[in-house]
């Protein structure tokens, strides 16, 4: 399979032999049925093994194996992509679906073979995987899952913190009432995640990245915008002035990343628009 498909609880559908595309490519369901029984103690008959993955766009009606999973509805309800974005990680619900290699190894006398690990444990080894996500995404996780296309409302829900959502709304209102720009959702790659873009023709003027309890705005300042900024720079806070001054200048201008949190004077954002 190609790209990683991460579930709400941190499993990997792309590695799972029950995933529909893997069955279509190379049907190993008998092997999987035996492996699940050996390592997890449950038996599912081969003809009942078929899963469309729990992050498919119609995830509420998709054909899933684990229909009683308590994690998926909880993550969806909170507006997250997966449990790594939750303040309650690891909760009791997630513990019900938690898979740790060391716990499984403890139960077996002999060492787990490499191909057994690969087929039956690695796809579901979610605790390590989610901890890695937390480490690499830091405090302000973004909407990084390309397969879960957000709406503006789901972006607001993802941010979560009501005070920050109010600032998000003020920003959107300010942009849309002052400028005639086109708006679109874009996935900016695995390092940037989903963003709301405002464009003039092909040129992106502002991109807004929703984050947990924050959002980050990317202002693209060309020569003209930098000249205008010189005229109003006394009006912004020292924090924002330092940010603009310290941002590297390229031949076509500066890319200014401004994160809006509780601590950033929001008026600066409106001045920069």
* Residues 21/25/30/36 CA torsion (nearest 10 deg): -40
The number of residues that bind ligand SF4 (CB under 6 A) is: 25
Tell me whether residue 36 or residue 229 sits nearer to ligand SF4 (CB atom): 36
160 binds ligand SF4 (CB under 6 A): no
- Max intra-chain CA distance, the chain: 73
Select from 9-17, 109-117, 158-166, 211-219 the region that touches ligand SF4 (CB under 6 A): 9-17
Task: Quote the CA–CA distance of 17 and 40 in Å, as a whole number.
Answer: 15
Which of 53, 79, 160, 193 touches ligand SF4 (CB under 6 A)?
A: 53
Strand arrangement, sheet containing 214-221? 182-187, 194-200, 203-211, 214-221, 253-260, 249-250
How far is C-alpha 31 from the chain's CA centre? 32
Task: Quote the CA–CA distance of 82 and 11 in Å, as a whole number.
Answer: 10
50 binds ligand SF4 (CB under 6 A): no
Task: Quote the CA–CA distance of 46 and 33 in Å, as a whole number.
Answer: 6
Enumerate residues 88-127 that contact ligand SF4 by CB under 6 A. 88-89, 91, 93-94, 123
Select from 70-78, 143-151, 159-167, 235-243 the region that touches ligand SF4 (CB under 6 A): 70-78
Which of 6, 29, 33, 54 touches ligand SF4 (CB under 6 A)?
A: 54
In the bound complex, what is the minimum distance in angstroms from residue 18's beta carbon to ligand SF4?
4
Per DSSP, 208 falls in state: E
In the bound complex, what is the minimum distance in angstroms from residue 123's beta carbon to ligand SF4?
6
Task: Quote the CA–CA distance of 162 and 36 in Å, as a whole number.
Answer: 43
Residues binding ligand SF4 (CB under 6 A):
7, 11, 13, 16, 18-19, 51, 53-54, 64-66, 71, 74-75, 78, 80, 83, 86, 88-89, 91, 93-94, 123
């Amino acid at each position: 399979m190609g790209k990683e498909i991460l579930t709400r609880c941190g499993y990997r559908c792309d590695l799972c032999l029950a995933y529909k595309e893997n069955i279509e490519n190379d049907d190993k369901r008998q092997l999987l049925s035996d492996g699940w029984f050996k390592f997890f103690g449950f038996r599912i008959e081969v003809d009942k093994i078929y899963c469309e993955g729990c992050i498919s766009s119609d995830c509420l009606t998709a054909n899933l194996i684990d229909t009683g999973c308590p994690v998926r509805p909880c993550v969806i309800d909170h507006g997250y992509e997966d449990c790594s974005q939750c303040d309650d990680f690891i909760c009791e619900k997630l513990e019900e679906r938690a898979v740790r290699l060391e716990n499984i190894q403890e139960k077996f006398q002999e060492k787990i073979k490499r191909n057994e690990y690969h087929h039956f444990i690695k796809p579901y080894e979610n605790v390590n995987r989610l901890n890695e996500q937390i480490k690499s995404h830091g405090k302000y996780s973004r909407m990084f899952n390309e397969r879960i296309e957000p709406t503006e409302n789901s972006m607001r829900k993802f941010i979560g913190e009501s005070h920050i959502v109010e600032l998000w709304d003020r920003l959107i209102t300010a942009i849309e009432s002052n400028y005639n720009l086109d708006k679109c959702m874009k996935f900016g790659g695995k390092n940037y995640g989903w963003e709301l873009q405002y464009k003039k023709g092909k040129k992106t003027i502002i991109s807004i990245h929703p984050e947990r309890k924050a959002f980050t705005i990317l202002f693209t300042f060309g020569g003209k915008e930098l000249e205008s900024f010189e005229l109003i720079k006394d009006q912004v806070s020292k924090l924002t002035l330092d940010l603009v001054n310290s941002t590297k200048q390229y031949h076509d201008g500066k890319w200014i990343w401004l994160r809006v949190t509780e601590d950033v004077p929001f008026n600066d954002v409106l001045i920069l628009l």
